[in-house]
Structure 1
Amino acid sequence: MAASPVLFVSYSGVLGGAERVLLDAVTRMERPPVVACPDGQLAHALRRAGIEHAPTSRRPLQRGPAHLKGIAGLALDIRRLKPSFVVAWGARAVLAAAPSGRPWLAVHHDLQPNAKLRAALRATTRRANGVVAASHAIARDLGLEQATILHPGVDLDRFSPRPLPPRPPRALVLGALVAWKRPGLALEIARHLPELHITIAGTTLPGDDGALETRLRRQAGPQVELAGAVADVAGALADAHLLLHCADAEPYGMALVEALAAGRPVVAPSAGGPVEIVQDGAGRLYPPGDAIAAAEAIEAILQDPDAPANARRRAETHFDVVASTRRLEATIEAAQR
């Protein structure tokens, strides 16, 4: 009799960065799992891909008592589904999996600025049968010395390199318009590089008042375009010479990995996940928040004819989604023993 499928659990039904990584993994696993999450973008994508979806109660990402009630409700959902093994995908799923009474693997994708939550996650994760962090930066932040580091990979075929566009040089900024991503730094960098055109591709998150986007549009000069959300990320990368990243507290950075796969070098702060991604001549790092140093790094990349090939090579050797999925499967199997 075949063993029951592994149950992946996500608190969120929104198709954000961590959820896209989950979707990429489960659609490539040799033995498809079941994914428990609220109905929404992630659930729809799972069904389209032929992955079994187990609905959980819809819960907004709340704080305070409502937040704790939502986690308790998710723990009840896990018990109701009676899985043989749980993969808790993200902080809230980790907090819900521990009291569920099922064997489980904790998978962490985020840095935690809240000291109390960080301590709670550290203590809870110690009860897991195995621990995964998407970067060394995350493992250090949470104090998870025992974590297996699994850098998420990218579809190398989807992001295959295309010819560089003609000059003048163009930089792409990818990411939600939220304060911690520091999109305003791109405007400062632009002032030091009058020949550079910068496209900021991203929108505010649901529930945001839009004040940041309004301020950016008011302050942006003619060389900066706020393009909103882009459906074709590979196409947007093809139209750029490089990816510019501004967040100085990035836990990992899937946009950076996608850029490397597309043969586009990356200029990013020397902090968090980007330090683990931008290596081997695939880009340049600059001190966080330093617009002048970032501008100098961009100039250096634009003058390096080997940077695009180095970027693609880095992706091929370190960030293939098929290889990262096999490593995840092996980690799950080890935790089940």
Structure 2
Amino acid sequence: MRLVFAYPGNLALRTGGYGYDRRLIAALEDEGWQVDLLPLGDGFPDADAVATDRAEAALSALPDGALVMIDGLAFGILDGFAAREGGRLELVALVHHPLALETGLSPERSEILRKSETRALEHARHVVVTSPETARELTAGFAVAPERITVAVPGTDPAPEARGSGGKPHILSIGSLTPRKGHGILVAALKMVEDLDWTATIAGSRDLDPATSKTIERQIGEAGLADRITLSGAVDDTRPLYAGADLFALASRYEGYGMVFAEALACGLPVVACRAGAVPDVVPESAGVLVPVDDAAAFAEALRNFLSNPDLRRLKAAGAREAGARLHDWHETGRTVSKMLKEIA
């Protein structure tokens, strides 16, 4: 059994999407697949014509009947390639979340991406998504029939229960410093609760969007919170961060799944997040509080309730542990995708 896995950018980057790709590849190899990696180059989904042509040429060089899984960050703008080669290659799209739903796009750019991704997905033999919410979105907004979609939620590794800070409550947030992750909302909310005791760590790459990173750093400084909020950058091993936290908070404006929320649940951390994308699929009411997107005041109120009420933290932590115990592992993710691939190969 042989699969070509085509991906844009740097597969080693510490993001949820690339993390999913790496773990899925490993899980498929455990299922007996030979997975051949095919890099497609940088710049996606905003790659220029030269980069796009180069990626299409690499894919078009594959032999007839090749089974190819293409990460959606690139596939969504390769609609011309998909139309030309969809009848010759067995194309499987891996969609973490629709490109048109990325935060900060102009209406014109969003519509361009929606049209190109809809056309590309039309020519995919099958589509893998990481959450039921993304499946619903592709059916409702991108004309993908439900029977052409396989939901393969990310696995979550077992983790010891978070021991906490042992002192003033410590708030953990993990996510690349990009507009979609809503770190500016989190910082604004923390400013509103500065009268309470707490410290916070925001972990995530500062290189993917340097302008946003600088904005967040400036916001923290202007709020007078530089001695309470640590920007740690990308962290290879986040387990110690979860272990030392008392609360997980991330104000994402959209998530195709939200692996960090699942990881927080596995550690028994109560969660404050936004009711956005697939987050409600991951975080049950018993484990946290979800507020409207971009509502810093509501986010601050949820933080205040947790920070000032240890009993509430303990109650939601118990709910988080229960929810974490029900999460899938990566072997199950691999088996789900492997079964689908065998059926279409």
Considering the TM-score relative to the shorter chain, is it more than 0.5?
yes
Q: Does the 8 Å CA contact 1:26/1:33 hold for their aligned counterparts?
A: no
One-letter amino acid matched to 2:92? L
SS in 2 for 1:180: helix
Aligned to 1:84: 66
Aligned to 1:9: 6
Deviates more, 1:137-146 or 1:327-336: 137-146
Structure 1 residue 136: Cα displacement? 3.6
TM-score (norm 1): 0.83
| 1:189 aligned onto 2:189 | yes
Q: Over residues 11-47 of structure 1, what are the superposed CA-to-partner deviations in whole Å (9 max), with x where a residue is unaligned?
A: 2224232121011111122113324343xxxxxxxxx
Q: Distance in 2 between matches of 1:60 and 1:192?
A: 38
One-letter amino acid matched to 2:219? L
Aligned to 2:155: 153
Q: Distance in 2 between matches of 1:13 and 1:191?
A: 35
Q: Distance in 1 between matches of 2:17 and 2:200?
A: 26
Alignment of 1:1-337 (within 5 A): 3=1, 5-14=2-11, 15=13, 16-29=15-28, 30-38=31-39, 58-61=41-44, 63=46, 67-82=48-63, 84-93=66-75, 95-96=77-78, 98=82, 99-100=84-85, 101-111=88-98, 112-113=100-101, 114-139=110-135, 140=137, 142-143=141-142, 144-146=144-146, 147-156=149-158, 159-193=159-193, 194-206=196-208, 208-209=210-211, 210-220=213-223, 221=225, 222-279=227-284, 281-301=286-306, 302=310, 303-336=312-345
Amino-acid identity (%): 24
Structure 1 residue 312: Cα displacement? 2.9
Deviates more, 1:80-89 or 1:115-124: 80-89
Q: Distance in 2 between matches of 1:200 and 1:335?
A: 42
One-letter amino acid matched to 1:110? H
Structure 1 residue 206: Cα displacement? 4.4
Q: Does the 8 Å CA contact 1:13/1:37 hold for their aligned counterparts?
A: no
Structure 1 residue 207: Cα displacement? 6.5
TM-score (norm 2): 0.81
Flag the 1:200–1:91 CA change in 2: closer, same or farther, 3 A: closer
Q: Over residues 116-139 of structure 1, what are the superposed CA-to-partner deviations in whole Å (9 max), with x where a residue is unaligned?
A: 111221122122111122224433
Q: Using CA pairs under 8 Å that are at least 6 residues apart, name the structure with larger relative contact order, 1 or 2.
A: 2
Q: Distance in 2 between matches of 1:227 and 1:218?
A: 15
Structure 1 residue 228: Cα displacement? 2.4
Flag the 1:106–1:304 CA change in 2: closer, same or farther, 3 A: same
Q: Does the 8 Å CA contact 2:44/2:74 hold for their aligned counterparts?
A: no
Flag the 1:186–1:91 CA change in 2: closer, same or farther, 3 A: closer
Flag the 1:216–1:227 CA change in 2: closer, same or farther, 3 A: farther
SS in 1 for 2:197: coil
Aligned to 2:106: none
Q: Does the 8 Å CA contact 1:250/1:274 hold for their aligned counterparts?
A: yes
Q: Distance in 2 between matches of 1:266 and 1:334?
A: 38
Structure 1 residue 299: Cα displacement? 4.4
Q: Distance in 1 between matches of 2:231 and 2:214?
A: 14
Q: Distance in 2 between matches of 1:325 and 1:311?
A: 25
SS in 2 for 1:225: strand
Q: Distance in 1 between matches of 2:116 and 2:273?
A: 31
SS in 2 for 1:153: coil
Give unpaired runs (5+ residues) of structure 2: 102-109
Deviates more, 1:315-324 or 1:262-271: 315-324
SS in 2 for 1:281: helix
Flag the 1:311–1:35 CA change in 2: closer, same or farther, 3 A: farther
Deviates more, 1:297-306 or 1:230-239: 297-306
Deviates more, 1:101-110 or 1:310-319: 310-319
SS in 1 for 2:48: helix
RMSD (Å), alpha carbons: 2.4
SS in 2 for 1:268: strand
Structure 1 residue 71: Cα displacement? 2.9
Flag the 1:237–1:10 CA change in 2: closer, same or farther, 3 A: same
